[in-house]
Amino acid sequence: MYTAPRLEQELSAAVGNGASQVVVDLSDCTFLDSTALGVLIATRTQLRRHAELTLVATDRNIRKVFEITGLDRLFAIAPTRTDALKQSNSA
């Protein structure tokens, strides 16, 4: 909740700069609330037409949030940043 506005700012800047590939590294994230999920969903919607959004999630609890909500079917989720970049480049 406290960092979601910063996340939204950074992702909006990437969208505004015309990024063709955006990787959100959640490796250091230990908690993800609905506000952050909303930011990620909104960004994916904005990028959908012209860019790829890939998430990096190493923490089992973070991955579980995506699985429980069904968002693991909406987002490309990779175990490492390197894998995320490879996924994005092959899409």
Q: Dihedral of CA 1/12/14/79: which sign? A: positive
Checking if the pLDDT of 88 tops 80, the result is: no
Q: What is the pLDDT of residue 14?
A: 87
CA distance 61 to 56: 13
Q: What is the pLDDT of residue 48?
A: 79
Report the candidate in 5, 8, 48 with the shortest Cα–Cα distance to residue 24. 8
41: domain CATH number is: 3.30.750.24
Query: For residue range 24-49, what is the model confidence (pLDDT) as tens digits?
Result: 999 999 899 999 999 999 999 888 77
Q: What is the pLDDT of residue 65?
A: 95
Which of 1-15, 34-48, 59-73 has the highest mean predicted lDDT (pLDDT)?
59-73
Number of structural domains (the chain) is 1
Judging by DSSP bridges, how do beta strands 21-25 and 76-78 pair with one another? unpaired
Provide the domain limits for residue 57: 4-90
Checking if the pLDDT of 1 tops 70, the result is: no
- Number of C-beta neighbours around residue 85 at 10 A: 15
